[in-house]
A = this chain, B = another copy of it.
Amino acid sequence: MAITVVGSVAYDTIETPAGKRERCLGGAATYFSLSASYFTDVRVIAVVGEDFGKRQEAVFQARNIDTRGIEHTAGKSFFWEGSYLENLNEAKTHNTELNVFASFNPKIPDAYRDSEFLFLANIDPVLQRRVREAMPQARLVAGDTMNYWIKDHRPALLEVLKGLDILLINDTETKMLAANNNLVQAARAVIALGPKALVVKHGEYGATLFHGGRAFRAPALPLEEVVDPTGAGDSFAGGFFGYLASQPEQSPAAFRRAMFYGSVMGSFACERFGTERLQKLTRAEIDEHFNIFRELTHLA
Contact = CB atoms under 8 A, between A and B. Distances in A.
Contacts of A296: 215-217
Contacts of A126: none
B205 A183 contact: no
A14 B118 CA distance: 48
B183 A295 contact: no
Given A260-B299, A300-B253, A184 B224 contact: yes
The residue in A88, A205, A295, A298 that gathers the most chain B C-beta atoms within 10 A of its C-beta is A205
Interface in A267-288: none
Interface residues of A, number: 34
A208 interface: yes
A259 to B, nearest CB: 9
Interface in A241-257: 253, 256-257
A56 interface: no
Contacts of A295: 214, 216
A109 interface: no
Interface of A: 17, 88, 181-185, 187, 202, 204-206, 208, 214-217, 219, 222-226, 253, 256-257, 260, 294-300
Contacts of A17: 181
Contact of A299 (B88, B214, B294): B294
A235 B218 CA distance: 24
A69 B118 CA distance: 65
A297 B298 contact: yes
Nearest to A298: B298
- Copies of this chain present in the complex amount to 2
A204 B217 contact: no
Nearest to A182: B225
Nearest to A219: B217
A260 to B, nearest CB: 7
B222 A184 contact: yes
A294 B187 CA distance: 21
Contact of A208 (B181, B222, B224): B222
Given A202-B205, A215-B222, A222-B208, A299 B253 contact: yes
A81 to B, nearest CB: 23
A208 B185 CA distance: 25
A71 B170 CA distance: 49
Contacts of A297: 216-217, 297-298
Contacts of A222: 183-184, 187, 208, 215, 217
Contacts of A224: 182, 184-185
Contacts of A187: 222
Given A217-B296, A297-B217, A204 B223 contact: no
Contacts of A226: 182
25 contacts: A182-B223, A182-B225, A183-B204, A183-B222, A184-B222, A184-B223, A185-B224, A185-B225, A205-B205, A205-B206, A208-B222, A215-B222, A216-B295, A216-B297, A217-B219, A217-B222, A217-B296, A217-B297, A219-B219, A253-B299, A253-B300, A256-B299, A256-B300, A257-B299, A297-B297
